[in-house]
Amino acid sequence: MIPRFLLALVLVCLSACSSTNTLPETNPRLVQTAKLFKPQKSERFQLKYLLFLPPDYQARSGQRWPLILFLHGAGERGSNVWKVAAHGPPKKVAEHPDFPFIVVSPQCPEGQIWSNDTLLALLDEIIQRYAADPGRIYLTGLSMGGYGTWNLGLTYPEKFAAIVPICGGGQMITGVA
């Protein structure tokens, strides 16, 4: 039996990928914030990302929130972080700002693919800075992001409650039980 929260996550991802949009266009800038991640240990890279916090998010309330890390496809790479809101959870939160998850949507730089080291550094920073529940971190991605989801999720399965790769393949990792 599939847990309800996992089924809901899959449905959110799939519905946000749909090419038909019956809702009016919503400005993702109204509910998400563009951020820049610069790891302290390295000045060699930086990563832009969109951050969505639920409307009733209170960092000091003691409540821990589930978190979705969303990896976009190759078409959203570049330097305009708002391109990331075209599909998936960042599109969905723009349409439904009452979404009860923290959503982190990084942007892969042009000409690159997802890096596990970079994504883990970003995830550690987010968990440290925001009231994310480390036991309820979900990873999803589309196309190139689906490949990134398989790669990151299978390399570090202990980090994620579930992974939902969409339209992306993966490689078998030997020695993983």
Looking at residue 163, its pLDDT comes to: 97
Please give the Cα distance from 158 to 38 (Å, whole number): 25
Residue 17 pLDDT > 50? no
Please give the Cα distance from 130 to 132 (Å, whole number): 6
Kindly report, residue by residue over 54-70, the tens digit of the pLDDT: 988 876 678 899 999 99
Looking at residue 60, its pLDDT comes to: 67
Whole-angstrom distance between the N-terminal and C-terminal Cα of the chain?
A: 21
Confidence of residue 175 (pLDDT cuts 50, 70, 90): low
Looking at residue 157, its pLDDT comes to: 97
Looking at residue 86, its pLDDT comes to: 94
Kindly report, residue by residue over 116-157, the tens digit of the pLDDT: 999 999 999 999 999 999 999 999 999 999 999 999 999 999
What does the domain layout of the chain look like in residue ranges?
A: 28-55+64-166
What is the DSSP secondary structure assignment for residue 143, as one 8-state letter?
A: T
Please give the structure tokens belonging to residue 107. 């942007």
Q: Return the CATH class of domain 28-55+64-166.
A: alpha beta
Residue 47 pLDDT > 50? yes
> Over pLDDT 70: what percentage of the chain?
76
Please give the Cα distance from 56 to 95 (Å, whole number): 17
